[in-house]
Amino acid sequence: MFRFAHPDFLYLLFLLPVLVAFYVYAVVLKKKAIKRYGNPELLAELMPEVSPKRQHLKFWLLFGAIAMVIIVMAGPQFGSKLETVKRQGVEIMVCLDVSNSMLAEDVSPDRLSKAKQMLSKLTDGFSNDKVGLIVFAGDAFTQLPITSDYVSAKMFLSSINPSMVSTQGTAIGAAINLAVRSFTPSETSDKAIILITDGENHEDDAVKAASTAAEKGIHVNIVGMGDPKGSPIPVDGSNNYMKDKEGNVVITKLNEEMCQEIAAAGQGTYVRADNTNSALRALQKEIDKMNKSELDSKVYSEYDERFQTFAWIALILLLVEFMTLDRKNRVFRKVKLFSLLFLFCTGSLFAQKAERKHVREGNKLYETEKFTEAEIAYRKSLEVNPRSSEGTYNLGNALYKQKKFPEAAEQYQLVAGQGEKMVETPEGKARLAEIYHNVGNIGMQNKEYAKSVEAYKQSLRLNPKDDETRYNLALAQKLLQDQQNQQNEDQNQDQNEDKKEDQDKQDQQQQNQDQQQQQDDKKQDKTQEEQPQQQEQMSKDNAQQMLDAFLQDEKDTQEKVKKAQAQQQQRKRTDKEW
């Protein structure tokens, strides 16, 4: 996208045709003056060093320099730049229930998908407001810190699923408390929490949390998802439904009574979602009632100052005009030096113009979310200038939007390789911070949390005031810790299985030894014919009793071990997994 910061100066371009007319008039007067002295062709032979072409060239060089100066005064802008803007809006934190019960299909297509669709449409209606996103099940954490970047909000929203929270259940109170802490403390605008849940609260006192939020001036609005009659919970990847410990199919029901109590305590409104848009309209109506105030937001503007290029062109044209003589040099009379220089400058300007054309075309396609076509345009600009940092950066963004994360990371790395030059200017430093932020997001998508942590740290070193990156860093560190804990649990489980296999082998060896001992006893009994038959029978019975007692002790020991492991696993789980 391209624009002028001061377009009024462009009216000076109307002076250029006047300048051309004045020059043509001067040339005509000069020719008439020459005719007074005699035949112009004969006079031209008497003045071989006079060059009308050079005079024309000097005029057009000066003409071009004046045009460039006017464009510089108008302030051409394009690209992107991080800046702080003031807006009139409100702050809203969305708490989305991602427990397994949200997979129930009593609302089409299911509760969670319906909630995501509703939030996406709600975000489209925001203009100057700030929005944040918290996901919760048995625990709650911030998915997106409060921001005015609606594109990022919709991107994070699309990736939400129940597997994001390892601890299942429904801790509504924890989500409300976290939302209260997530608002901007210094802002005076109205604040509201939109809680989307089925109301099956298993963990904490949600009514008390909502009442505490209301005391701080934060309204808690509830959107109930589901049907009070209830619905089974599908198991992903199969045609079965979730069952409880007794083997019965779990029926999850919308707890409207709980939702209404929370909304009343939070001085908000309760609305039940169905297959229509009534809940969405009710939320929009509540948001419109809120008092808006001035908010400071850091946003990426589509415009950045780029007058330097035109200023350099004007300077070069003036230098060439100054070096161009009115008369031909006797030594270099046959050498068309200035013609070659003019062609060189023209070719360079043409290449730069072609590059900018493709970049502008790509920017327009990117803004209309035609990311595939934008990628093609950016690649064309790189064919003209493979070292263009702007084309490379924009190509990385287009690939990122298409979820081509490995290719996007490669383009970001190419731009990051110019880090020493980029940090010399505030705009370059902000862009480099954004690059590392996107690299961190790519790592989150690929579950490479260690890489994400390092990338977010690099971004914060360049832009320590970026709250979004700081929240993402904390989230990446948490997910990395969970991943490491899961790996440790899997390793311990493998070790327990190995120990069990070793114990089974030892039991088998002991059993073989006992059988061998029995065979030896039988042989010994046959060789001792003097012993009575009754004594031989008693020896066999005693051996068998000893073997049975040993096997029973081993069985009891293994059962105790299994019971202890089951109790340990039970401590890590909640009573309800939905």
Are residues 112 and 102 in contact, defined by beta-carbon separation less than 8 angstroms?
Answer: yes
Phi–psi pair at 271, nearest 5 degrees: -140, 140
The residues facing 241 across adjacent strands are 234
* Percent of the chain residues topping a pLDDT of 70: 71
- Which of 143-147, 295-299, 521-525 tops mean pLDDT? 143-147
Delineate the domains of the chain, giving CATH numbers in brackets.
1-76+302-328 (no CATH), 83-300 (3.40.50.410)
Distance CA 573, CA 372 (A): 45
In a 3-state reduction of DSSP, which class is residue 121?
helix
- Residue 450: its pLDDT value, please? 87
For 26, 47, 51, 263, 394, the CA distances from 214, given in Å and listed in that order, are 81, 94, 86, 10, 44
Residue written as token pair 């396609």: 365
Query: Is it the case that residue 100 has pLDDT exceeding 70?
Result: yes
- Contact assessment for residue 434 and residue 466, using Cβ atoms and an 8 Å cutoff: no
299 or 444, which is more confident? 444
- Tens of pLDDT along 131-164? 999 999 888 888 888 888 777 788 778 778 888 7
**Residue 567 — pLDDT band, cuts 50, 70, 90?**
very low
Mean pLDDT computed over 331-342: 49
Q: If you average pLDDT over every residue of the chain, what do you get?
A: 77
Check: CB of residue 100 under 8 Å from CB of residue 62. Answer: no
More confident of the two residues 45 and 365? 365
Q: What is the mean pLDDT of residues 539-557?
A: 57
pLDDT higher than threshold 70 for residue 576: no
- Please check whether residue 311 is in contact with residue 70, taking contact to mean a CB–CB distance below 8 angstroms: no
pLDDT above 80: residue 252: yes
Q: Which of 308, 142, 283, 159 is nearest to 219 (CA)?
A: 283
In one letter, which amino acid is 373?
Answer: E
Reply yes or no on whether the pLDDT at 531 is more than 50. no
Confidence of residue 96 (pLDDT cuts 50, 70, 90): very high
% of the chain beyond a pLDDT of 90: 13
Comparing CA positions, the residue from 248, 183, 251, 180 lying closest to residue 211 is 180
SS (H, E, C) 502-557: HHHHHHHHHHHHHHHHHHHHHHHHHHCCCCCHHHHHHHHHHHHHHHHHHHHHHHHH
The mean pLDDT value for 67-91 works out to 75
pTM for this structure? Answer: 0.45
Whether the predicted pLDDT of 557 surpasses 70: no
Cα distance between residue 407 and residue 385, in whole Å: 19
pLDDT score at 126: 83
Instruction: Give residue 446's pLDDT band: very low, low, confident or very high (50, 70, 90).
Output: confident
DSSP secondary structure letter of residue 303: -
- Of 451-460, 470-479, 541-550, the poorest mean pLDDT is in 541-550
Instruction: Determine the average pLDDT of the residues in 419-428.
Output: 70
The answer to whether residue 302 scores a pLDDT higher than 90 is no
Q: What is the mean pLDDT of residues 506-523?
A: 64
Helix (H) / strand (E) element for 402: namely none
Please report the pLDDT score of residue 535 as a whole number: 43
CB distance 139 to 270 below 8 Å:
no
Residue of 277, 293, 289 whose CA lies nearest to 129: 293
Question: What pLDDT score does 555 carry?
Answer: 61
DSSP 342-359: HHHHHHHHHHHHHHHHHH
CA 185/CA 178 separation, integer angstroms: 14
What would the pLDDT profile of 149-206 be if each residue is shown by its tens digit? 777 788 778 778 888 777 777 889 999 999 999 888 766 778 999 999 988 765 678 8
Spatial CA neighbour of 435 closest among 443, 158, 448: 443
